[in-house]
Structure 1
């Protein structure tokens, strides 16, 4: 039997529009996903960028 190493999720931040709202989905270093919903696109973009900085990711 081969040794298996658990797959480590890489952190990521996604921004998408859904039914007129803006959803920011975040998967942190622990791999636990969560999301925040915004009414305004500019607020969602600012939040997403802050999360990318926090996680050490490159800007989109």
Structure 2
């Protein structure tokens, strides 16, 4: 929902909560794509690059 509203900070916060509760879920293709969208969005969200590398959304 937050991504649809173009709220990158809230989207990233939700992804981090998912990672805390069920780390395997953030490696699913849909959530990796969502992470990549945040990474390459015009608005920068602190911590997304590290999260993307950690969760496999981008190659390290």
Q: Structure 2 length as normaliser, TM-score? A: 0.31
Q: Structure 1 length as normaliser, TM-score? A: 0.31
Could you say which structure has the larger radius of gyration? 1
Comparing both structures, which one devotes a greater share of its residues to helix?
2
Comparing both structures, which one devotes a greater share of its residues to strand?
1
